Each structure stands twice: as C-alpha cells, then as structure tokens.
Structure 1
C-alpha cells in the first residue's frame, strides 16, 4: 500500500484511506468513514524492529504462518495523528465508546503524561505494514473472557476470524455457540454475561488485494431477465 492521503474529516470520527475508491468500498461494506476511527496494525517482518522503543509485543509474519496483530492505534479526532495504544485491553475500552467519546491525544495522557497534539504521530501509514479498519463500538468482552482475532494469510476470501475464549478455555466462534454455552453454563448468566457483549464483526484490510473478491453468481431470475431483454430487441434486416 502506498502512502495514504491526508486524513478526511467527518462529524464523528476520522479514518485515513488510501484512495477514494477504497472509501466507497468500506462505506458499502458497513465500515463507514463517518463511524470508524480506530484501526489495528499488523507488523510486516521488515518493519518489526521499527517500534522497538514502544511497550508493545511484536509479531512477525513468517512464511506459511498467518500474521498476528502487532499493535493497536487510534486517530486523534482533533489533530488526526495516530496514537499507539499500549495494551489490547485499553484499545477495547476506547473502541467500546469511540463514537460517543471520540479519541483525542489528551486521552493518551493515561500512559504518556506529557503528550499533546503538537507531538509527532506515533505511527504512519507508510506501506510497511498491513493496516485494517476495525468496527467501532464493539463491547468489551465479559470479565474473564478474551476476544481474539486470527488474521488469515494473503490471497484468501476472508481477512480474519473472530472467536471468544471463555474462562474455562473453550473457544466459541459464533453467537449460536455462545448462546449454547451460556445455556449449558448458567453460572455465567448469573454473573451478568449476555449475548450483547459478543460481536463477531471482523476488521477489513485497507489493502484491496489482500483478500480475493468472491465471484458474483448470476441467479436464474437475472439470467432470464437478460435473455428476455435481448430477445425483445428487433433483429437486423427485418
């Protein structure tokens, strides 16, 4: 991915997209530039050492192994600079209310006391990493649970898989599985766990070519409509 354009403003939050064509694509997929300001970054192996001074666990992409999330970042709603979020838990806390409480640099003083909008951005979309836009306002996992994202390898038809790990270590990959688990283990319901705390929305890569587009299937009605349209046209020479 080439260096991105300057950030475009919106009434609630901001994201950076590399081109107008990408903007339309994400809007159509339900990841509107008006509502999504938080993104995650996956390190490429070539750039894994660049952020060595940050308190973030690095993840390196190895051939044959799916990449893992290397860092979380959110864009300031005032200066549009990207700020690294030190932990996954803090990122999930910010994401849960990102629309109601847009992120600003002042919020980062929780872990960087002197930071202001005048400081250089922590990370930039320079093409050395795989960036993905995340869905805003996803609820934090219930206490003792973990929401995990597994990035698929390049060239597949799906970017990532989302699953939840219960306090007992069981992996649940859909709301149906979560619902069944809660019915089988009512003690979690008694502790206040509800289906509303789970979301299987996956992030989307900003690189259009990372995921292959599924071929469009022509259904019978469309085909019949096409045939009828063509047959109704007058033939030449009549």
Structure 2
C-alpha cells in the first residue's frame, strides 16, 4: 500500500499492498490485498471489507488466515497482469463514513484516477474545500472531520495500462504548439 515506483512489480515488493482492479470503463471489478507473510494476492469480497483491511494496514497488517479457509499455502487468488488496469491505494486511508461513498474514477486516457465523495443526500464533492463547506452547512455531520476523508488518488500500476495508452499525451500537445508557431 505504500507508494511505489510505477515500473516496479507489486508482487516483488516486501510491503503488503491493497489494490483494486479496474477495466478501461473505470468500473472496479475486484478488490485485493497482499498478504504480509507470503505476498500473495487475495480477492476481498466486499468494498467494506477491503476498507477495513486498508484503514488498519500499518497497525494490523493483512495475512491470509484473516479470510475464512485461507492460508499462505493456498495459491494466489489473483495476480497483477495487463488483462485489467490496476490501481494502488496508499495504506491507512480512513474508512469511508457511514452514508458517504468514496468514488474513484480512472480517466479515459489512463493518466490519473480522480477521487470524489458522494454524500448521503447525493451531492458529489471533488475536494477538501468542497467537503469543508459541506460539513459546515450540515451540522448533522459535526462528528466528522476532514481527516475522515481522503482525496489522495490511488496510483496507477503502469505495467497494467494498455500499450496504446502509454503514449505520452504531453508529446502530442508539444507537437501541436510547434506546428502552430511555424
């Protein structure tokens, strides 16, 4: 779950990770965590269970036997490959408050993941300033603070991004600028 170099393989790092696997349509199709002992990936059944493991990663690292019927001897449930785009959250992101939903959206050009929160009344909030305003306007949430929300975007595992998307979009914009100047 620590920030890692985009070109390194998550399976070879010695720090357990939490990831979600996304398709190009930006739909999360699986949540997974990496065992702190055997470094194998385990699929997590629900987003809530995934958040439980993610928010306590440092204090209580995930190990295979936390899942019923699993041990480190059992083969990995999933491996990081390019069949889907993988994104990696940092450790210890707070569990999403009840009634709110943390939404992560992969941009169509695979350049970044955007984070926003959906409030209980259906409003989408894209950043800290918006959440400050929302919490001030809704005293029923005075038990919440900004530290209950994390807008830091998950890192994209570059080795899983389709090759056609790896072309640097900045190169195209530089070429356009050069052409317009000539």
Structure 1-normalised TM-score? 0.61
Structure 2 CA distance for aligned equivalents of residues 81 and 36 of structure 1? 9
Max radius of gyration: which structure?
1
Structure 1 CA distance for aligned equivalents of residues 80 and 14 of structure 2? 19
Q: Gaps (5+ residues) in structure 2?
A: 172-182
* Residue matched to 1:94: 53
Pair 1:42 & 2:22 matched: yes
Larger helix share, 1 or 2: 2
The partner residue of 2:135 within 173, 182, 185 is 182
CA apart distance, 1:205: 1.3
- Judge conservation of contact 2:2–2:91 (CA < 8 Å) in 1: no
Pair 1:81 & 2:44 matched: no
Q: Gaps (5+ residues) in structure 1?
A: 1-12, 27-32, 44-60, 216-238
**1:114-165: CA deviations, max 9, x gaps?**
221111110112321211221111001111111111111135xx41111101
Pair 1:72 & 2:36 matched: no
* Residue matched to 1:161: 114
How many residue pairs get aligned? The number is 164
Pair 1:199 & 2:150 matched: yes
Larger strand share, 1 or 2: 2
CA apart distance, 1:84: 0.1
- Judge conservation of contact 1:41–1:72 (CA < 8 Å) in 2: yes
Structure 2-normalised TM-score? 0.79
Pair 1:138 & 2:93 matched: yes
Indicate the SS of the match to 1:98: coil
Q: C-alpha root-mean-square deviation of aligned residues, in Å?
A: 2.8
Indicate the SS of the match to 2:92: coil
Residues 121, 200 of structure 1: alpha-carbon distance in 2 compared, 3 angstrom cutoff:
same
* Residue matched to 2:174: none
